[in-house]
Amino acid sequence: MLKQARIQSCVAKDLADMFPVWDDDEQDPDIVKIVNALHDPNFKFSKNHWPLEGVLSAHIVKSEAGKRSLSSDESSRKRPCTASASAASFVGDEGVGVVATMKAHFDQCFKSFSTKMLNGLGSCEKQIKLLTDIGVLICMFMHVSDNKLQSNSEKDDAPMKANVNVGACESVNAPGDAKGKKAAVKEEEAPKPSICEIDPKTCDVDFDAVALAKNAKAREAAQLVARATSARYRQLAATQKSPFLGNSTAKAIIPSSASHSGRAHGYDSFDQTGVRAKHITLMNFIKSNPLHSFLIFLNVQHMEAYINLLRLRLSKHPEWFVSDRICFLNSMFATVWRRDYEAFKQSEPNADGSGKLLPPGAYSYYTGQLPIYCQTKKTWTYDVDYLYSMLHIREDHWVAIWVSFVTKHITVWDSHKATKHASDEQIVEAVEPLAVMIPYLLQTCAPDDDKWRFPYTPLTHSRVPGTEIPQNIQSGDCGVYCLKYIECHALDLPFPLELCDKNMRKIREKMAAELYDETGCKGHDKLDATGLDVYDRQA
């Protein structure tokens, strides 16, 4: 049903009252004429209502010049307009036209723009001159240093160098030897690297401050990783917490030991099945490459290669091992930490005990960035509970270590414990840097909410008696025993009777054949020296 409008009264008003006007408004008579004309149906617009003043003035000037004056109809027609005519048409009553105004405006803009360009170029010229002076000073300094370093050697080797240069010149400048001449020209054009040795005592650079600043940056990055990792750390819910120590729920959710009941073993590290075929393939490769040879002792490269093999297996098959919360470290870890232990003790801490100088690469080990081969990228104590590594004692003996973050203890397995090749004092001296600096690293990188869990208290350590583990009676196989200690314990296997001196040949052949078979004989990565630069000590 449509609504109808009911009108009770209607008043007719004039057209002028339809447009309200404010009290203080001033009306434009020309606009009023236009509005009235639009509402008048009989009104018709003509040229007389709006005179063309600018055109009339231009035609007036032309008529004054003696030319024929045009009628209004002819003047309204379109005609080509020249530049002079258009300029004259824009001339005002005061004698200053739009063209003159625009020209003055453009002149002012270009003047300010050129001034700014000149100022900027002058500033650049000063900077270039300053940098050139600095470069000249540096070159002079390096040249003087090179002359000082080479002065003594040049005096002693002058006759020998003269003979060498003569021979080189004769061979290069021989007739018909175009290639030799090109090589000589390239060698002359190539810039020779200059080496400058700086005495820290006479240098203004504070190397300790630079090392501390670099250490602080690495510590901040490790703390960020630790905070992100702690957010997903496994913890009990409020309904699962119990005041009783024997809580079975807690034991099931967060196991407190490395041994997992019912976990299937991955492989037998002493099984000889398939080793013969792999060994034949390895021997064929060695025959085709005579440069490869065997060594009686396991050096650093061999130890690193087999640790890398264990890291590769853990990354591909974590279910084979006792837990996925373990990590295999290379020998570089313990070597560098033992070397820099004195610098750590001599560095001044902050008021709260933090801020001491840790070894280079410590924070990368903490976050799993090191070792480079098969990076775990797991954070210690949050993603990793146990560390496996090895120590080099007395420059000729390898021992295995097992670091437990759960029990805060370091276990040492020594294959020469019975023969006392290394004394207890030597073992303590080698383990002490790790026992002291590992808790310090954990407390430094831990988030503020978890710092109470990681005090500065050093880790305890002990050496397993020789009666409980297989011993190496003959000398030269300590490296094999060290690696097999680590492998068996990581697989949650007891140390078998097969690990003995009489089976050493078979064990070595198996290890070499598996290395070649699983790694494709690509060798091992170089010793990890990332994080070391000119401000760090030599590795």
* CB neighbourhood size of 401 (10 A): 25
Residue at 427 is within a domain: yes
Q: Which residue has the higher pLDDT, 79 or 410?
A: 410
Confidence of residue 191 (pLDDT cuts 50, 70, 90): low
Residue at 84 is within a domain: no
User: What's the token pair of residue 419?
Assistant: 């023969």
DSSP H or E run through 327: strand 326-328
**Does residue 435 surpass a pLDDT of 70?**
yes
User: What's the token pair of residue 2?
Assistant: 């449509």
Under a CB-based contact definition with an 8 Å cutoff, are residues 509 and 279 in contact? yes
> What is the residue whose two structure tokens read 């303590």?
428
Confidence of residue 336 (pLDDT cuts 50, 70, 90): very high
Residue at 164 is within a domain: no
Residue at 116 is within a domain: no
Predicted pLDDT at 368: 93
Q: Which of 334, 482, 338 is nearest to 397 (CA)?
A: 482
**Does residue 237 surpass a pLDDT of 70?**
no
Q: Which domain, by its residues, includes 405?
A: 207-234+267-519
Q: Which residue has the higher pLDDT, 324 or 295?
A: 324
Query: 3-class DSSP state for residue 328?
Result: strand
**Does residue 32 surpass a pLDDT of 80?**
no
**Does residue 433 surpass a pLDDT of 70?**
yes
Residue at 244 is within a domain: no
- What percentage of the chain exceeds 70 in pLDDT? 60
Residue at 388 is within a domain: yes
Residue at 321 is within a domain: yes
Residue at 327 is within a domain: yes
Beta-sheet strand order (sheet of 460-463): 326-328, 386-393, 397-404, 409-413, 460-463
Predicted pLDDT at 85: 47
CATH number of the domain encompassing residue 225: 3.40.395.10
In the chain, the number of structural domains is: 1
**Does residue 411 surpass a pLDDT of 90?**
yes
